[in-house]
Amino acid sequence: MGGRTVTRTSSESAERLASLTSWDADWSGLRVVVAGIGVSGFAAADTLIELGASVVVVDAATSERAHAQAETLRIVGAEDVLLGPDAVERLPKVDGAWPELVVTSPGWRPDQAMLAEAARRDIAVWGDVELAWRVRTRRGKKTADWLTITGTNGKTTTVGMAESMLLAAGLKAVAVGNVGKPILDAIREPVEYDAFAVELSSFQLHWANSLSPVASVVLNVAEDHVDWHGSYESYLADKARVYANTQKACIYNAEQIETERMVEDADVVEGCRAVGFTTQTPAVSMLGVVDGLLVDRAFIEERRDHAAELGAITDIGPVAPRHMVANALAAAALVRAYGVEPAAIKRGLQSYMPGDHRIQKVAEAAGVTWVNDSKATNPHAASASLASFRSVVWIAGGLSKGVGYDQLVAEHARRLKAVVLIGADSSELAEALARHAPSVPVLPVPARETGGNGGAIAGDEVMAQAVALAAERAVDGDTVLMAPAAASMDQFDSYAHRGSAFMVAVREHLSKHG
């Protein structure tokens, strides 16, 4: 950017950052480093350039896509884009001076070298969600109200259900955040949205400080991402941030005391209510289930001795496992807090289409059902999936993210007919199986080096072998369930790639063998 560089003291920079609470604030010349050139990083850099900030983008990637993204950002006005492993080892200067702000993509850990240097230099670090919240008001009008959703599992399903319910009520709404569409992209669309259903990961919440949603929910918590957060306690603390400054309703899981305690400890807007959801009969100020119906005893005046019918379990779909019912109730609580009527909730559930890779039936042949739940990237999610079936040949394994498997295996050992292990190193899962399910056959797929451009090919081969091994063990009445309880990046590009590889392998196997 042209012109004279103005170097501010840390207190002056802090004062300026505090004033940046709308699109129309003075962002011009603000020196910003954007960490990451993926979906959220690109959206953050593009937004900041449009606002007039001086922007340098860094990423360790060297792929063709990263270089294409970099060229686009240079064309629209980025001061520089630095790619490659060396680019992320130290904090770059912007316009010849230290940046006043770092905006990080959610996957970057706080102890990453560049972010750690920013902390040592007392430079503020925001996430893309924090930036989105600050620019949501434009020409005096906010873009949309936020309904925020987090949890160890079920976030994407719940945000999709909430979006469907809002749309059924005739509102202009969209699911954003960790679900796929960056919030910044939605804010810049030429649409006057009424509401955003916002999926937030623990990573995104770690870097967000100013959010004040209309309603918020923690769906559930279980050990996950311990490697990123450093401890389970730190992970819970970041999840709990979703409740801060909530305006109308903090929704919690009445069957999990940790989420209720988070609400009790939250600093919220005066008048904000605590509302529980349960898959059992609800108490006052809760949503729950009575005789197969989803009911509301929270958002009606006569809640002490009445309940409003919101829909039936059958509205969720032909198969509605307990965790899907819980997700539907959480979504219903969020939109009820926003003012959506019961009839729209029923219509929203009926029109909701689950995404791929979430307990997705792939095929049924010779009495064997093949199910893809690649989205089950941790033990808690895999447990919910396993609980849905009676006799399972389980395909599992991958990057453990620092979690344990003993409880998962012990709880479901009785339903396991055999286990096919994938993953570059699934020794922790194998050891848990040996301890708690010693009679269950464990069939490892030999690991291969899968880095670089060969990763996709090797991953597909791994899945083909896994499917073949599972088919040898499965008989009439069994379910072959691919619910890995682990992340995918050791052998696949993503959980979606892993799920797609499974579906392709199943169809190819059945076409050859019937």
Residue 47 assigned ligand-binding role: no
- Shared domain for 60 and 105, answered yes or no, is yes
Residue 153 marked in a binding site: yes
Shared domain check, 320 and 401: no
151 has binding-site annotation: yes
Residues 255 and 181 in one domain: yes
Position 355 scores a pLDDT of 65
pLDDT below 50 — which residues of the chain? 1-5, 449-457
Can you say whether the dihedral through the CA atoms of 298, 171, 42, 12 is positive or negative?
A: negative
Last residue of a domain, one of 98, 131, 164: 131
Q: What is the pLDDT of residue 225?
A: 65
Q: Is 155 annotated as a binding residue?
A: yes
**Residue 491's pLDDT is what?**
83
- State whether 101 and 171 are in the same domain: no
Tell me, what's the pLDDT at 451?
41
Contact 489, 399 (CB under 8 A): yes
Nearest CA among 29, 21, 24 for reference residue 3: 29
* Residue 467: count of CB within 10 angstroms of its CB: 26
For residues 182 and 161, membership in a common domain is answered with yes
Q: Where among 351, 369, 384 does a domain terminate?
A: 351
Q: Is 156 within any annotated ligand binding site?
A: yes
Residues 147 and 105 in one domain: no
Specify the pLDDT at position 357.
61
- For the chain, the 3-state helix, strand and coil shares in percent, each to the nearest 5, are 40, 20, 40
- To the question of whether residue 172 is assigned a binding role by annotation, the answer is no
Query: What local confidence, expressed as pLDDT, does residue 514 receive?
Result: 61
| Residue 120 sits in the same domain as residue 164 | no
Q: Exposure of 205 by Cβ count < 10 A (0-12 exposed, 13-18 middle, 19+ buried)?
A: buried
Q: What confidence score (pLDDT) does residue 237 get?
A: 93
Q: In terms of residue numbers, what domain contains 57?
A: 10-131
Mark whether 226 and 323 lie in a shared domain.
Answer: yes
The number of folded domains in the chain is: 3
Residue 92: CB atoms within 10 A of its CB come to: 16
330 shares a domain with 190:
yes
Q: Establish whether 401 is an annotated binding residue.
A: no
pLDDT of residue 4: 43
